[in-house]
Structure formats: C-alpha cells, structure tokens
Structure 1
Amino acid sequence: MKKYIIFLFVVVSIMVLSGCGGSVEEDNSSEGSNVTDEKWSEINESEELVVGTAGTLFPDSYYEGKDGDQDNLTGYSVEVAREIGERLGLETKFEVMGFDSMLTALNTGRVDIILAGPREESREKFLFSDPVKYSYSTMIVRSEDHSGIDTLEDLEGKKAGGAASTVYSDIARKYNAEVITYGNAPNEAYLRDVHNGRTDLIINDYYLQLMGLTEFPDLDIELHPDLKFHPTTNSVVMDKEATVFLENVNEAIASMKEDGTLAELSSKFFNGNDVSQEPDEDIIKIEGIN
C-alpha cells in the first residue's frame, strides 16, 4: 500500500508521549521527596498514555496497512512514543489528527502528549522534553528550474504548500510567499501540486521530505540542492504543570539514547540516518523565526 505523508509539523512536526510506573518511580523528580503533579497522577492511575499524532506523515507517523487500525500505525515518532510508554509502564494509545489541532487537543486534555518542535509562544504554555530528533528545514521544488528559487529571498511571490500554523509556513510568509493551506491531506496532494505548478514549493523537515520523495519517483520534483536552513528539534510536549511527568519522560529518553534504542529506531525509519544526533551541516539561521 502506498504510504501517505503530510508535511506539517513540527514543528511540526509533529507526536509524543508520557509515562507511568515501571522503571521510573513517581518521586524521581526530586530525589528522596514525594513531589508529584496532577497530570502524572492521572496518567499513573489510568495506566494509559494518549498521544496525538498525524498518521499521514511518512516516515514519522503513518499506517503500514489498513488505515484506522492502531496496530498498523507506525513511524519514528509513533515508535518512540510506544517505547517511552513501555519504559514508564503505560499502555500507549493514539489519537490521529491534523497538526493544527494538536496543541488544542493537548491544552484541553484530550491527549497527554504530542511530539513537536518548541517555539517561543508554546514554551510559555507547555513543557518540552529533551530532544528526540534533530534536523533542519529545506524545500521541495520542481526539478527543471528549482521553481525559480536560488535564494530564500526568491520565495517572494511564490506559492508554498503547507499547514496554517507551522514554522515552515512562517518561514514562507517571512519571505513574502503565499501559503496554500491543506487539511490533514496525504503527501501526494502536496507533491503533485508542486509537480503540476499549482504551488511552487513545500518547506518542511529535511529527513521527512527526503524519505517522502522516494514514494513518488514519477513526479518532476526534488529537494533544493543548495538551501539548508532553520535548525530544528522535536521533543515530547506536555502540560505546563506536569513537572514530574517531564522528568520521568526525560529519564526514559536518556536511557533510550544510552542503550542505542533511539539510534536504532532512527536508522530503521530514516534510511540509516541518526536523527537523535545534531547534524554536522552548515545551516542558515533565519532571524525572527523561533
């Protein structure tokens, strides 16, 4: 079955998780104390971790079979979430939704965590774990002429496919491109629009776009060969008051890095690349974009 993708994110991109019990004790946020928080207590009692994820973002969050069956939901962020849940003694469940809905779902308590990149305004409302993924942004353009784009300044007047509230759309707007928004659409819709000229580019995560292109070799599109910009991270995002929960998740992430689990999952889903390490690239930083 063709894997479908949506370039949103985070981020965000973005997906996620939270924890209970298992190898991480409830009082580990302050050694020797009984400090807790309401969210951690709620998750601990339910023994469930509810994760908001896209389900259409290969290779990060997608269905490897029949859509709608949680047993067929997989991808890097999905498996990271499952692994964290397991290490915290929780049963992990997923709510599939568009990126623009994820922060609202997190804020209302519909989900316990998502996976996304920290931004200045969201840091004021939510807590972010240590990074589980490092990357940077690039853009998909038409192969023939790179959609007439040689520098970021050439985005002026171009049409960029994307979700309304992502950092990628903010970058497009900063350089005066028109953002053409989509719902939780499959990646094919985005890619074909660049191919047929309805849009000119898609700005998104380098690794996601690199893998996404492999699914549609018939389209006359490619990653821009010269433009690498806006370094990013993805983290587990949770309620602002969930300080004990955060420390438990960070402990689980640290153990996953130490025993090689994160690197193994990354290699599986990103064609041998290790997204758990910062990339050694000359990446353009964009002033005013957080």
Structure 2
Amino acid sequence: MKKAAAMMLALAMILSLTACGGGKKETAAGTETQNAYGRILEQGYMTVGIDPTIENIIFTEAGEEEPEGFIVDIVRGFAAELGVEVKWEILEWSAMLTAVNTGKVDFIAANMNMRLDREAEIDFSDPWLVDSAMACVAKDSAYQSFEDLKVPGTKFGIASGSVYESIIKEQFPEAEIVTLPLGTWQESLASGVIDVSLDDSIVFAGPMSSNSNIRLLPDRGDSYLYGFAFASGDKSVEVFNLYLTKLKAFGSYAELYKKWMGFEWEPNTLGTAY
C-alpha cells in the first residue's frame, strides 16, 4: 500500500508541474506550442494516432468502430488515470511523425521501432515491448530462409513509411519493394502481388492462428524496442512513463500481456523493456 501511495503521489506531482507550465512549451525554433498534457485536460479527451491492423495488439473487428487490443487497453488505462476520453486517429505510417509534431494527435500508440534517427524528430516513451523482424510467405512458397529471399526480384511488401524499407535495401539489395495499403499484406501474398511480408513478429502472431495459407520463415532479425511517440520536447511523455512504470510495478501490465499475448510476461533484468 505504501508503494502504491507513493506512486500515486509522484504521478500527482508530475501532473501538477506539467499543468503549472500553462500548457505551453518552448520549442527549438523559439515559438510556443501547447503541451499535449495541458491540451488533453482542457479538451477532456486525448487524440491518439494508431495503425489498427495487428491482431491482438491493436485491431478493429469487422463492423465495429472502436479498436481493441493490448495497445488499446494500455491507452485506455492512461486516459482513465487522467479522467479523460480517447479519440482514435487512424494514420498511415508515413504520416505519423508529422501528425504528432503538428498536434494533429497527442501521441502515437503503435509498434514503433525506437530508432535513433526517429528520436531526433520525436520523443519516445519508455519501451512497452521488445520484438524482432520475421518474414511471412505463402504456405506453398519455395522460400525457406532469409538467404532464399536474396534472390533478385523477390517482391517484399511493406507499409508506406515503414522502417523495413531501409532494412530491405540494406540486407536484400536486389529485392523489389512493393508499398501496400495498411492491413493488406495477407491478400497481397495470396494474389501474388508480393512474395514476402517482412515485419515485426507481433504482426504475424494473430494471422498465423487464423490463416492456414501462410507460414513464417524460421529466421529472426535483430531485436529492438517499441515506444509510444510524443512531440519533441513534450513533457507529457514523463507523465505517460510514470503511468507505464506503475502498470509494470503493480501487476496490471502482466495481466494485459497474458490477456492479449496468451502467455506470461517475463520482465528483463531492468523490469522496463517489455
């Protein structure tokens, strides 16, 4: 109880200090823009940029408007802590960084790779998950490994703005890159528009249990961390980080992880990365 009380007191202090700034922050260009936290409290809702195309992580059931999933439950819990509602804004990956830095959304809640070049444009939250790249092909495909994908002309499907464009160019220099609309990679594999989808492994977890016409290659790419994205210099990321720490420290994160991933959460030695 003492730990919980201390955490709640710390959260209240950060919220108070952030609000005392009048909801403004000074940007590098010398102009003032409203802090997302101040804007959220003033409006009574937060606008969150998403890509709802990943089963179990963040997705929308047919005929439904509201998304569901692991990310959704994390965001809704954050909104509940602040006493506000959530409005979801579906974005193409290529538009996400601009959307958060121009105030179109208050932050991005997605499986966004915490790359250093992105950190130059936005501020990442603490990591909420660790993952690695995998490749998905049609069940009857001849491809058996990453090495096979190096055959000239192999068609890789990616979303616009995906980090995998640069990875494919570096690791599969003779590949053909096909940019796909969000959530269409399964149809593109089935129709032969692409030969392979290279993406975060969590993207494939749901489809592998529901689509018998696809399979994963056994290889995995390098591991990396996912973070939520806030506008550069926005102090509200500190508020979210405290909320995320609280989730992990008091068991709620583990419950959500088990609910959506289907297995137990095993923290790393720091207890923060996933």
Q: Shorter chain as normaliser: what TM range?
A: 0.7 to 0.9
Q: Specify the alignment match of 1:61 in structure 2.
A: 58
The answer to whether the 8 A contact 1:146-1:224 is kept is no
Q: Following TM superposition, by how much is the alpha carbon of 1:223 offset from its aligned partner in structure 2, in angstroms? A: 0.8
The answer to whether the 8 A contact 2:122-2:230 is kept is yes
CA distance in 2, matches of 1:273, 1:100: 33
1:7-49 CA-partner distances (Å, limit 9, x unpaired): xxxxxxxxxxxxxx99832546979x95675212222222311
Q: Structure 1 pair 147/222, CA: closer, same or farther in 2 (3 Å)?
A: same
Alignment match of 1:224 (pick from 196, 205, 217): 217
Larger Rg: 2
What letter is aligned with 1:104? T
Matched, 1:207 2:218: no
Q: Structure 1 pair 143/50, CA: closer, same or farther in 2 (3 Å)?
A: same
Q: Specify the alignment match of 1:238 in structure 2.
A: 230
Matched, 1:47 2:44: yes
What letter is aligned with 1:270? M
The answer to whether the 8 A contact 2:54-2:202 is kept is no
User: Counterparts of 1:1-290 in structure 2 under 5 Å?
Assistant: 24-25=11-12, 27=14, 38=24, 39=35, 40-67=37-64, 69-70=65-66, 73-115=67-109, 116-147=112-143, 149-151=145-147, 154=150, 156-174=152-170, 175-176=172-173, 177-184=175-182, 186=183, 189-217=184-212, 219=213, 221-225=214-218, 227-243=219-235, 245-272=236-263, 274=265, 277=267
Q: Structure 1 pair 235/45, CA: closer, same or farther in 2 (3 Å)?
A: same
Q: Comparing both chains, which one has the higher relative contact order based on Cα–Cα distances under 8 Å and sequence gaps of 6 or more? A: 1
The answer to whether the 8 A contact 1:140-1:201 is kept is yes
CA distance in 2, matches of 1:56, 1:208: 8
Which structure features the higher share of helix residues?
A: 2
What letter is aligned with 2:233? E
What TM-score does the superposition give when structure 1 sets the normalisation length? Answer: 0.75
Q: Specify the alignment match of 2:3 in structure 1.
A: none
CA distance in 1, matches of 2:177, 2:264: 30
CA distance in 2, matches of 1:242, 1:107: 9
Structure 1 unaligned segments of length 5 or more: list them.
1-20, 280-290
Q: Following TM superposition, by how much is the alpha carbon of 1:194 offset from its aligned partner in structure 2, in angstroms? A: 2.4
What letter is aligned with 1:108? T
Q: Following TM superposition, by how much is the alpha carbon of 1:230 offset from its aligned partner in structure 2, in angstroms? A: 2.1
Aligned residues: 247
What TM-score does the superposition give when structure 2 sets the normalisation length? Answer: 0.79
CA distance in 2, matches of 1:29, 1:259: 23
The answer to whether the 8 A contact 1:169-1:179 is kept is yes
Q: Specify the alignment match of 1:3 in structure 2.
A: none
Q: Structure 1 pair 230/148, CA: closer, same or farther in 2 (3 Å)?
A: same
1:197-256 CA-partner distances (Å, limit 9, x unpaired): 331111111122122222212x1x21112x11121221121111212x111111100010
CA distance in 1, matches of 2:166, 2:258: 30
CA distance in 2, matches of 1:59, 1:100: 23
CA distance in 2, matches of 1:55, 1:228: 24
What letter is aligned with 2:122? F
1:96-133 CA-partner distances (Å, limit 9, x unpaired): 22222222211221110112222222211211111111
The answer to whether the 8 A contact 2:134-2:200 is kept is yes
